[in-house]
Structure 1
Amino acid sequence: MTSTLSRRDVLSTMASTMAWLAVGGLGLSTMACTASPRPLVPGEDSCAFCRMTIDDARFGALVVTAKGRLETFDSIECAAAYVQGLADSEPPRTVWVADFSAPARWVDATRAVYLHGSRLRSPMGRELVAFAADADTTTLLAEHGGTLTTWSGVRALVSDPVAGFRPTAGPSPQRDTAADTAARASAHAH
């Protein structure tokens, strides 16, 4: 038994198939734009903020932009300064920080526990390190010193020009010079 399809039947079937492919393709392309954390590659990855080559993944961070691009950072302060510089209309989808005690483990930046001013020397000199939310903070403070802070505290720290780290619109942070520090000290004395 031979079946003949009319031109109308063939076109209708093709249109239906193309519609299903388009919907399926849209779903696949949306999934492909959703970045997930990946290990930093020391010596190969570079910081999206200061452009330094990443040497120590324990201090690293990842940011997924509003458009789904995965950016790498050599330090928490660089990631925070980058986020501070984003337009309010394009906040990042997510920010991850490396758990210092297990750098292959990524922690949501808003849930991490941070030490600031500890004996652990971060690449950009702010001595900021992150740990998983369930880390024993008493032990961390005893072992490393410093003070505890949150992601909001980290963001405030990089926004404070008196603290010595001024994020700029460009890719590189500006560091205080000795003259800047002396001028601030003189201004505070008056």
Structure 2
Amino acid sequence: MKQTVRAALLASAFLGASGAAAAADLSPGYLGVDVGYRNHYNFDCLSGSPCDRNAGASTRVYGGFVLGENEAFGLPHTRAVEVAAFTGGAVKGAFKDGSGALSPGKGKLSGVSAVLASATKLSEDWAWTTRLGLVAEHGKVDYTAGGSDSTNTLAVTAGTGLSYAIDKHWALNADWNYLPARMGKAAKSNLNVFSVGAAYHF
């Protein structure tokens, strides 16, 4: 199922990101910010230890540059490049330590990304958005018993959502983004972020 979802996102990203919506008649630059109100990890849990796979609020600040516009399925379609910095919230769970054993602790994720973003205009105000690219992540675990581990990861990220144009400058966005996640010595996990935010087109 996960592979099917990922494949669909990879395909849609080249046909269908929030920042690119409704920007054809403006300057090519835009800025935006998202707040993740639901951030779900799938790390392990240990019986009797605190465990919450839903992390606290995440944030993403990004800037983009529109490359051009064409048509997809007869609808206006814009493409852009985006760079972003993000935090993935804090999550409580069980993580592999240096000895390979699961130890309870708190994990945090942060990083930067570079993606190809696109928007397919569905109506005068609404657009379907997608993004696909690379993310460089830094995951850190602070173990309950003391000590910490950290790791850096380079991976593929993808997302999709809807954008609503308030006017020619401002747009409101609702997105789902997928990021591989790794903290401490743990094997790779997944982070699914459901976010809302706004973008401003210059």
Identify the TM-score tier after normalising by the shorter chain: under 0.3
Relative to the length of structure 2, the TM-score reads 0.21
- Indicate the structure (1 or 2) with the bigger Cα radius of gyration: 1
Relative to the length of structure 1, the TM-score reads 0.22
Q: Which has the higher strand share?
A: 2
| Larger RCO, structures 1/2 (Cα 8 Å, 6+ apart) | 2
